[in-house]
A and B are shown apart, each in its own frame.
Chain A
Amino acid sequence: MIYDANMLQQMILLFALFFAVSLAIYMAVRKEVTGKKAGRIYVGGEDLRPDDVNISPLDFYASIERTLRVKRVVSLHNGDLSRYLMWMIIGMAVFMIILVWGMV
């Protein structure tokens, strides 16, 4: 055995136990929170309507660009076939350079 499967099995069973216990607690407590309240989501101090949840991709990419200081994330996937082929060729060239340097 390269890895102890039984330990993994025990971890999984432990998780199942915790999950079952918490599920039981939830089911028991749920009756006190009846009706309409069970369906509303309460996040960050105010109710959240479903429409607010979907993040628009453009905003998201802009936030990533700001955090990672990587420019042009969106423009790299703009759908231009020639650009995609350029990546492929560059990737192939990188493979070739690394392999020739490493294997010769």
Chain B
Amino acid sequence: MIYGFYAVGVFLASAFLTGLVSIKSDKYVPHIPIAASLVAVLLTAITLPRVFFWGAVRMQMEEWVAPIGISIVADTLSVTLALITTIIAFLVLLFSYRYISRNSAKYYSLLSLMFAGVLGILYTGDIFNMFVFFEVLSVSSYGLVAFYRNRVSLEAGIKYLIMGSVATSMLLLGVAMLYGVAGTVNMADLALKLPSIGGIVPAVALALIMAGIALKAGIFPFHAWIADAYEGAPSPVSAALSGIGIKAGVYAMLRVVFIVFNAPAVVLDILLVFGVASMLIGALLALGQDNLKRMLAYSSVSQIGYIFMAIGLGTALGTAAGLLHIVNHMIIKSLLFLSAGTVLWKAKSTNMKEIANTVRTTPLMTYSFLFGVLALAGIPLFNGFVSKWLIYVASFEKMPLLTVIALVTSAITLAYGLKAFYAVFLSNEKAGTKVVMPLSMKIPLVVLIVLVIVLGVVPQIGIWLAEMMSGSLDLSLYTGVVLG
């Protein structure tokens, strides 16, 4: 009885109810998803102690015996990411309470669907089910990116849609090939059957699946949609997409590579190489941006590169470092996008200079963005330092050149972060209209700041989490849980 999985149902119900209630009046529309996300946090919080202290749990849908039927698996990696997801979902929905003024029913429905999709990906043990939830996530995000129907959002939306659909079709083709040779779509069962099926088909299938997931995860060369989509989407949606949506892609990639295919060395090397490329390219592209949201988008590409580089190292420390960086980056990027959102709420454009000239920033806005930037660059006292330090150490053991590249990229990260911080928050302090932030926008910022600082000053929490999570990627443990 995995209560955390019912969070998916809660979000689906909230999407439906929001639409239904909006027929009568628009007044209570935001309250439904916010309440739903609180319920989801609760459900996940109940599941977490059971999974962490008792071991991973498996539940079968409709009482079909594994490997027939859909398995729902909650292990430490799933539950940790699900907890952060539901917390960020609550904060994003709360932030949107005052941010979105028109068409709010459609917005909240789509956003609830998106969260349902992400949670479904996290809990499922069946690769076709993962594809279905992937599509749920993708289609609702296509709608959310194109939400403001202006030129920027529409262009971003249609481009994201076309690229995303091609990618998920490739994913489906890969899953179809796997079914064709193995006769099952259960991930644990595939892991047991695939080694005895050699030949070219599993390799081609893996390539297709990786290409499909890589687009969602945002690795080079599949990163072209990210800048446009994050620029066009409303700021809370960008926070949700970058904090949660991308991580769903990373999680899916981890499950496919580590569980289904048992992490062959070639694949880890691919992840390493493409990770390093994304790291550098993302950072360089972010440095040259004039536009606040595009800069944050390319910064996400760069940090995902860190994660894949760490995981591609293949060592225990590397994997743990990468997993911890996933958790840390979810919090940091959401903080950055939400604090950018407070500034963009009343600004007329996303160009940094123009924001500085039209909005006078309050101390909370300034500090939240500053802490986000410092955490992103890996400054001690913030949570980014813990995971980045582990990444430096792990890469040094394998190849010191990687550590150098990682450090250089961190320096570039600090550079573009501070440049944006200075340009938007510090220059022109007297110009512009004063923005009064409502409480619904202050609470998410404060919560995220607290998380960033606590995880940074007490690194034991992060390291303990990282160790617990990396235990989930062990194939024999996973098959034991699922197949009994």
Contacts and interface: CB of A to CB of B under 8 A. Distances in A.
A–B direct touch in complex (beta carbons closer than 8 A): yes
Interface of A: 1-3, 5-6, 8-9, 11-12, 15-16, 19, 50, 53-57, 60-61, 64, 77, 79, 81, 84-85, 87-88, 90-92, 95-96, 98-104
A102 B467 contact: no
B317 A9 contact: no
Interface stretch (B36-44, B84-92, B264-272, B435-443): B264-272
A100 B200 contact: yes
26 contacts: A5-B463, A8-B389, A8-B459, A8-B463, A9-B458, A9-B460, A16-B380, A19-B381, A53-B423, A55-B419, A57-B289, A77-B224, A77-B285, A84-B159, A87-B222, A88-B163, A88-B224, A90-B221, A91-B214, A92-B211, A95-B211, A95-B214, A96-B203, A96-B207, A99-B206, A99-B207
Given A2-B316, A96-B207, A102-B264, A91 B459 contact: no
B264 A103 contact: yes
Nearest to A82: B162
A50 B270 CA distance: 43
A99 B352 contact: no
Main secondary structure of the interface of B (DSSP, over half): helix
A69 B291 CA distance: 26
B206 A103 contact: yes
B313 interface: no
Given A99-B203, A99-B267, A103-B264, 9 more contacts: A1-B463, A2-B467, A6-B460, A12-B380, A54-B423, A85-B163, A88-B211, A88-B215, A104-B199
A9 B459 contact: yes
Interface of B: 159, 162-163, 166-167, 170, 198-200, 202-204, 206-208, 210-211, 214-215, 220-222, 224-225, 227-228, 264-267, 269-270, 284-285, 287-290, 316-317, 320, 352-353, 356, 380-381, 385-386, 389-390, 393, 419, 422-423, 427-428, 456-460, 463-464, 467
Contacts of B389: 8
Nearest to B382: A12
Most buried by B among A15, A54, A56: A54
A57 B419 CA distance: 13
B163 A84 contact: yes
